[in-house]
Structure 1
């Protein structure tokens, strides 16, 4: 009788443990499913603009350099699809241009020129629609493009055009992190270290962009790197 009782008790314990394990497994699977659903819902709730901004930041600041070109090219396709659906949306055109410009930077060499030309076209089209869209980001980005590229006969780079665009962007968005950072970088590259320090400080003090936390972290790291280079020249 005792043996039967022990066996029965053991069976019940085993069944209870098995039920608990199964319940935990089911709960775990349910939690995973809920997380995946939440991620899908978040993706669906994001506007096309935010999707491009967040994916760009992930590629630009989190991927290894040898992974960036292919990832940016894939993101260009997504940007083009969004622009095709809303061809008069200056904000989407700006981000199409930013991604094209970033692809040029990731690719490098003469092969980057086609992406750079495409970026210029996107920025110019956005400016024709609304040059103040996204606080003048088309002017900032096109100014950076002109500054980074070599001049004729290799490419269409021009510091004269770059400076004009970067200054105009600062008139539109004097406290923004990007226009101040990129103008500081422009000044540094042209040997104007005291002025570069001033604009780097303004960039560092710019208000946070709550909808773009990763981009802010990455940009602030770039500001710190620029300040370190400026300090070496002092």
Structure 2
């Protein structure tokens, strides 16, 4: 695993376009120069100590790599892990995932009125829950489920993305209330209570409703406002 973490990304992947900018860095669409296939590069900045990368980060990446061998149809594949030292105190870890052209948010925006047929919603939800069950059975709480993290291929296959990354991002912190996007955040997270896998099920419910409505269910502009909208 340490050998994988030490690999340099430079020269192996050619960035093609910027996909998006998140709280933890920029995501790029890139070309694998060996296979010619497109991939998604997600950069994570990790604080290092005198012993290098924290053991917790190495464990989390090892877990993500282990899940790759199960080849679950509803989980985006982690294809490679590369690391490069930025400073004495920080290392950039780049996670290389298979690339899917659209997420659920984009998919829903393309749907003409009156919206998705019921059978299509049932099919998407079945795949969505199958992937989430797999994560939970492997002791992974996603913690940031939202339409942007649910990928939909051109043939309608659902793939969960960004699972486990919140734990890597916050590897030296306790579980924090800021990890889940506000509109899909469970009440126990908003109330800063203890939480586990049920927070993902709350997010599933919000996304399920959004498939019918084609707009978010609870659009709070602050944590307090979000709670008010939920209680209403």
TM-score (norm 2): 0.30
Structure exhibiting the larger radius of gyration computed from Cα positions: 1
Q: Which has the higher contact order (CA 8 A, sep 6+)?
A: 2
Could you say which structure has the higher strand fraction?
2
User: By percentage of residues, which structure has more helix?
Assistant: 1
